[in-house]
Homo-oligomer: A and B are copies of this chain.
């Protein structure tokens, strides 16, 4: 992120320092007296990536009250939302039958689905344990409500496997619950921990949800671009699991009847190169652009929520994050 202004650098410095503290709390919370547990936890440290959700907690906390420093509650909440997120990744990999994550073997590929089920449970349990250390039942209730929603999103997606006539509304509902809800609660609680009022918290929750949805759509679009073999592989896996993303859903909804039929027979059939052919049809249609447009609309809506905050370097960084969702190449 090219933020050369001194005040923006100060925000980045704050993030770097605070995220390091968040990682420390994360690691401390997960430490067990049992070596076999610590061993498994070490394996998934690799999943921790960019810490998007902790970043949202910290930035929303700062943007809601720019003159107030980040405090203990922000750090704990950051570790909590990241822990929940990682639990969803570990369980998602079971549902997706995934064998790699971050250029390494997934836990389920290495140690079996059982280890992945239990470790995901361990992570969630510790997230709540850490959360209950805050003197704030309201925050705990919000996080639990968000995880309820994430679970519902996963179950809704499961229930719609192989539903080739799934509509856009259901797709948006799925991604709002699966991805949006946790991003939203991260933003809300960051602001709440800074003493923000109801309006600001509600607005930032929406920001997070719209950001999360935009991110998911762009993710799905990127999965269709690039090297045909790679596209074929990931699209192939999705189709095997009966999972449709926005470009495909749009194409099924809007294509001319003959094209729609052709696409449906491909989807229902068992051609070995089904995925490559579906991928090519999508690239050669408007579907990918239309999906990108939808992501852009979400980003505009998200930035609209930010306008309610006082101007500040932290707010600028949030705006830049929203823009970055659309410009990422991978």
Assess whether B117 is in contact with A145, with CB atoms less than 8 Å apart. Answer: no
- Chain B residues with CB below 8 A from A234, complex form: none
Assess whether A144 is in contact with B125, with CB atoms less than 8 Å apart. Answer: yes
Assess whether B144 is in contact with A36, with CB atoms less than 8 Å apart. Answer: no
Assess whether A129 is in contact with B141, with CB atoms less than 8 Å apart. Answer: yes
Assess whether B113 is in contact with A36, with CB atoms less than 8 Å apart. Answer: no
- Chain B residues with CB below 8 A from A115, complex form: 155, 158
Stretch of A131-139, A213-221, A268-276 contacting B (4+ beta carbons < 8 Å): A131-139
Assess whether A140 is in contact with B128, with CB atoms less than 8 Å apart. Answer: yes
Assess whether B125 is in contact with A132, with CB atoms less than 8 Å apart. Answer: no
Q: Find the residue from A122, A136, A151, A156 having the highest chain B CB count within 10 A.
A: A151
Assess whether A94 is in contact with B113, with CB atoms less than 8 Å apart. Answer: yes
A237 interface residue (CB < 8 Å to B): no
A91-B117, A114-B94 given; A148·B129 CB < 8 A: yes
Q: How far is the CA of A36 from the CA of B159 in the complex (A)?
A: 6
Q: How far is the CA of A121 from the CA of B136 in the complex (A)?
A: 23
Assess whether A151 is in contact with B125, with CB atoms less than 8 Å apart. Answer: yes
Count class of interface residues, chain A: 35 or more
- Chain B residues with CB below 8 A from A148, complex form: 122, 125-126, 129
Q: How far is the CA of A134 from the CA of B140 in the complex (A)?
A: 11
Assess whether B117 is in contact with A129, with CB atoms less than 8 Å apart. Answer: no
- Counted per complex, copies of this chain come to 2
Assess whether B114 is in contact with A95, with CB atoms less than 8 Å apart. Answer: yes
Give the shortest distance, in Å, between A30 (CB) and chain B (any CB): 10
Assess whether B129 is in contact with A144, with CB atoms less than 8 Å apart. Answer: yes
Known: A115-B155, A121-B124. 9 other contacts (CB 8 A): A32-B152, A94-B117, A117-B120, A118-B155, A121-B121, A122-B151, A122-B152, A125-B144, A125-B151
Q: Which residues of A contact B (CB under 8 A)?
A: 32, 34, 36-37, 40, 91, 94-95, 113-115, 117-122, 124-126, 128-129, 131-137, 140-141, 144-145, 147-148, 150-152, 154-156, 158-159
25 A-B residue pairs with CB within 8 Å: A34-B152, A34-B155, A34-B159, A37-B156, A94-B117, A113-B113, A117-B117, A117-B120, A118-B154, A118-B155, A119-B155, A121-B121, A121-B124, A122-B148, A124-B124, A125-B150, A126-B144, A128-B144, A128-B147, A129-B141, A129-B144, A129-B145, A129-B148, A132-B141, A132-B144
